[in-house]
Structure 1
Amino acid sequence: MVNGRLPGLLAAVALTVAACGGADETASASPPAAPPASSRPSTQAPAPQTETREVTLEVNGKGKVFQPIVYAADTDGTESDVTLPWKKTVTIELTEAEQKVGYLVSVIPGAVRDAKGMLRPARCRILVDGKEVATNDAGENMCKHTLK
């Protein structure tokens, strides 16, 4: 007790402990009970909704193509040294986003000789779930369709 400083120091420590919650022994040491599961918001996102489409790419005609057939469907690929007719059927699973913005499928049919010996694009078509959705009847160099 030098000049009365010790009692003042003890009082300051007691006030600090009380202000920090250390002096209240009546408070429960356990955390508050969680609300029942039925009233809590779900943190789990709903499962994404996918749709499946069967896509058939066809290149029609007779004989061999003089350029490779190039396609984009479930994968991208090329087919060389092909004798027509040619067909590829795949199953494509569309995500929710692809159902909204679309998923492009296409086929570039390669070239064949016409009756005059000139090279021209072979005939192609795309079917989705058995229904024709694209052809190159107007002389286009490719067939393409956006799945949704």
Structure 2
Amino acid sequence: MNIRVATPDDLPVIHALAHRIWPVAYREILSSDQLTYMLRLFYNEAELARGMTAGEHFFIADAPTGSVGFSGHTHHFGDRTTRLNKLYVDSSDRSSGIGKQLVLAVKRAACEVGDQRITLNVNKYNPAIGFYRHLGFEVVRSEVIDIGSGYVMDDHVMECGL
């Protein structure tokens, strides 16, 4: 497995991964309508390109069979804070250490720019909360974010010191 920095040429890969991973990851949490809405809102190639241009950094996890996961993060999101915006791994590759390797890559990148913590949002019903706790993240608050069209993100905000 190889963790690499994504370039603009990788945006179609990230788009395809999101559309492959999300329906499995969120089928028990989100309605199919909300899932479709969020994929269209956050994971169209134009939005991914806008994020990259605005300073979002992506890592891609490549296995011998192809790309199997990705992360997205933004440095200096707050006071010495990197925000982990995205972390997704194919369901068939979970529990293989890929998610942990992606988080460690984000932690190293955050340290390199002088940030002292990482923050993220995770759906309150997402089993990944346990994964994040295992990596040292703690819930610091909860929030409900209106994302339009009658949909909200009902999340925990988690943080981890570096």
User: TM-score, normalising length from structure 2?
Assistant: 0.26
Pick 1 or 2: higher relative contact order, CA cutoff 8 A, min separation 6: 1
| Bigger helix share | 2
**Of the two, which has the highest radius of gyration?**
1
